[in-house]
């Protein structure tokens, strides 16, 4: 027998032994190699992370609270936007959402049952300041969040608080035009100051703004979030300029962050001892081909996505790549503003959901009207606002990873976690990081398959693979200090309504009961460093906490 035959047989025997011992190895191998994108799978345990590492779950106010006009709260921009015909899938709204406003104690018990270290949630701006600066602070809103914070701390859970997660009083949208006006900056600072005064004695982690880069893309480029502004080729809205408005809105959000950060550091941080940061949407990009132009396009995409948020807050100005291509459309910081904004964060928050291929549109045509059959063509790739980059999930007819419920952007690509953390580590001199969101949405075709949705092996595989990737980055020196699962329970997922499901818990649309999925028990056992295997029971069960599974 030839030596090569012996080696091949030994490898086959070893592989059979491996998959017999761990069914996840086989499942992961089949999924990835069938798409031509094999990734090494490794198991992961809580002990692979530092002892002080924070594990948690994330939510946001509009997506779960409901109670849109109760106890003094005013209408938010989202409350109004969702009631416009055609804006949200299936006509869904957040009027009730998961009714967290009335069920917060039940939800805190669920969070506690998971054994997490921290809970990331956001404060509803119109619940605290219904009329903005010109009105009074809403005492009922303050009481609501005080109860949440106090009950979390009572159970040993750190509150990780986002001040602005997309929702603002509709009055401010009408008064100023939202984030398009520099006047909104002082409104935000007043809101942040109100939060620091009322909650800062117990909150150690503050996030000023969630994903400003993604927010302005969706709200002012694509027009699918309020106020619904856009222009061709990105969309056909009744108002807006997709080439310039995202840059203006982002500029105001970054300055609002910097002013709030300065206020916190000068007036509150010395006594309260907390940290303040911002969260960016951090897609990873890989070149579509080995061509140097596509490699440059991938780097440019990272600059126009990740560095657009973080560069000003670390270095004091926008990335040079943006200055080069956006020219006069990109606002300038004054010398005073550069000093204000530079080093205005204690940590970086990374929301990571996607890895995509990047195609150069400077040296190659990306005009979709001319390439209607080109799967790498995305509207707007030939525009400066996109960095002259077109992104796609497909290469040579093969997807970059297994599809999820967000087929427009999000595929299972675990290596992207390690790569994006490495990128941020290297670009920002290893500034402290938190993975503030990472999650798996079930493919939409499973919507009516209760068994697959409740016994969600795919979600478990997803988190194990991404956590293993994150652990590698940490072993290689990345200063990552926490990981938050998106999300605690199925919620209102913006333009997708309730069709897209990220939750460790499902929510019955009629009773609003929270029903733990297999992933809830897996996460609980992972945090306790115990093993867990997915086994489907013969009957469907409904419980209140992971401990009861």
> Could you read off the pLDDT of 56-102 as tens digits, one per residue?
999 999 999 999 999 999 999 999 999 999 999 999 999 999 999 99
Given a cut of 90, is residue 371 above it in pLDDT? no
> Could you read off the pLDDT of 318-360 as tens digits, one per residue?
999 999 999 999 999 999 999 999 999 999 999 999 999 999 9
What integer is the mean pLDDT of 107-125? 98
Q: How confident is the model at residue 446 (pLDDT cuts 50, 70, 90)?
A: low
The pLDDT > 90 percentage for the chain reads 83
Do residues 448 and 417 lie in contact, with contact meaning Cβ atoms separated by under 8 Å? no
Given a cut of 80, is residue 27 above it in pLDDT? no
Query: What is the helix, strand, coil percentage profile of the chain, to 5?
Result: 45, 15, 40
Do residues 68 and 126 lie in contact, with contact meaning Cβ atoms separated by under 8 Å? no
pLDDT of residue 375: 57
> Could you read off the pLDDT of 476-526 as tens digits, one per residue?
999 999 999 999 999 999 999 999 999 999 999 999 999 999 999 999 999
Q: List the beta bridge partners of residue 58.
A: 120, 486
> Could you read off the pLDDT of 118-129 as tens digits, one per residue?
999 999 999 999
Q: How confident is the model at residue 532 (pLDDT cuts 50, 70, 90)?
A: low
> Could you read off the pLDDT of 226-269 as tens digits, one per residue?
999 999 999 999 999 999 999 999 999 999 999 999 999 999 99
pLDDT of residue 115: 98
What integer is the mean pLDDT of 264-288? 98
pLDDT of residue 365: 87
211 is catalytic: yes
Query: Looking at 32, 211, 245, 321, which residue is catalytic?
Result: 211
Do residues 245 and 251 lie in contact, with contact meaning Cβ atoms separated by under 8 Å? no
Instruction: Say which residues have a Cβ less than 8 Å from residue 495's Cβ, sequence separation at least 6.
Output: 87, 88, 89, 218, 224, 225
Given a cut of 80, is residue 8 above it in pLDDT? no
What tokens were used for 221?
A: 């480029």
Query: Looking at 221, 437, 461, 493, which residue is catalytic?
Result: 437
How far is residue 288's CA from residue 391's CA, in Å, rounded to a whole number? 8
437 is catalytic: yes
Rounded to 5 degrees, φ, ψ at 507 are -130, 120
Given a cut of 90, is residue 10 above it in pLDDT? no
């Amino acid at each position: 027998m030839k030596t090569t035959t012996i080696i091949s047989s030994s490898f086959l025997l070893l592989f059979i032994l491996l998959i017999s011992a761990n069914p996840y190895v086989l499942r992961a191998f089949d999924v990835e190699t069938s798409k031509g994108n094999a990734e090494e799978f490794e198991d992961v345990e809580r002990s692979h992370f530092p002892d002080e590492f924070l594990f948690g779950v994330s939510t946001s106010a509009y997506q779960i609270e409901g109670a849109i006009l109760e106890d003094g709260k005013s209408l938010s921009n989202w409350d109004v936007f969702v009631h416009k015909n055609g804006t949200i899938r299936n006509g869904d709204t957040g009027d009730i959402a998961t009714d967290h406003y009335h069920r917060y104690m039940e939800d805190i018990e669920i969070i506690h049952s998971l054994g997490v270290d921290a809970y990331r949630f956001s404060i509803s701006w119109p619940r605290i300041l219904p009329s903005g600066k010109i009105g009074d602070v809403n005492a009922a809103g303050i009481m609501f969040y005080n109860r949440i914070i106090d009950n979390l701390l009572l159970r040993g859970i750190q509150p990780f608080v986002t001040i602005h997660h997309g929702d603002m009083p509709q009055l401010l949208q009408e008064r100023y035009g939202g984030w398009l006006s520099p006047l909104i900056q002082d409104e935000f600072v007043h809101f942040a100051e109100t939060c620091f005064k009322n909650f800062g004695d117990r909150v150690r982690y503050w996030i000023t703004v969630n994903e400003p880069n993604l927010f302005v893309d969706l709200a002012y480029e694509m027009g699918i979030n309020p106020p619904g502004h856009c222009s061709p080729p990105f969309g056909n809205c009744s108002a807006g300029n997709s080439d310039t408005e995202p840059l203006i809105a982002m500029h105001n959000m970054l300055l609002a962050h910097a002013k709030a950060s300065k206020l916190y550091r000068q007036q509150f941080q010395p006594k309260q001892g907390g940290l303040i940061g911002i969260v960016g949407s951090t897609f990873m990009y890989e070149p579509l081909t080995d061509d140097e132009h596509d490699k440059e396009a991938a780097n440019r995409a990272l600059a126009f996505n990740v560095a657009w948020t973080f560069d000003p807050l670390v270095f004091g100005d926008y990335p040079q790549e943006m200055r080069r291509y956006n020219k006069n459309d990109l606002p300038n910081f004054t010398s005073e503003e550069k000093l204000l904004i530079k080093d205005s964060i204690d940590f970086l928050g990374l929301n990571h959901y996607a890895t995509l291929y990047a195609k150069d549109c400077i040296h190659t045509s990306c005009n979709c009207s001319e390439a209607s059959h080109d799967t790498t063509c995305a509207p707007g790739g030939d525009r400066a606002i996109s960095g002259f980059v077109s992104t796609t999930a497909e290469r040579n007819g093969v997807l970059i990873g297994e599809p999820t419920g967000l087929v427009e952007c999000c595929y299972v690509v675990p290596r992207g976690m390690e790569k994006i953390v490495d990128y941020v580590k290297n670009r920002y001199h290893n500034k402290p990081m938190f993975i503030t969101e990472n999650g798996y949405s079930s493919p939409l075709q499973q919507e009516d398959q209760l068994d697959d949705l409740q016994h969600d092996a795919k979600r478990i595989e997803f988190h194990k693979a991404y956590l293993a990737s994150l652990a590698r980055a940490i072993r290689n020196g990345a200063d990552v200090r926490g990981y938050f699962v998106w999300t605690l329970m199925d919620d209102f997922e913006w333009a997708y309504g309730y069709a897209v499901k990220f939750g460790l818990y499902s929510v019955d649309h009629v009773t609003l009961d929270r029903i733990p999925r297999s992933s809830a028990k897996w996460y609980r056992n992972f945090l306790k460093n115990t093993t867990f295997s997915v086994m489907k029971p013969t009957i469907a069960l409904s419980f209140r906490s992971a401990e009861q599974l």
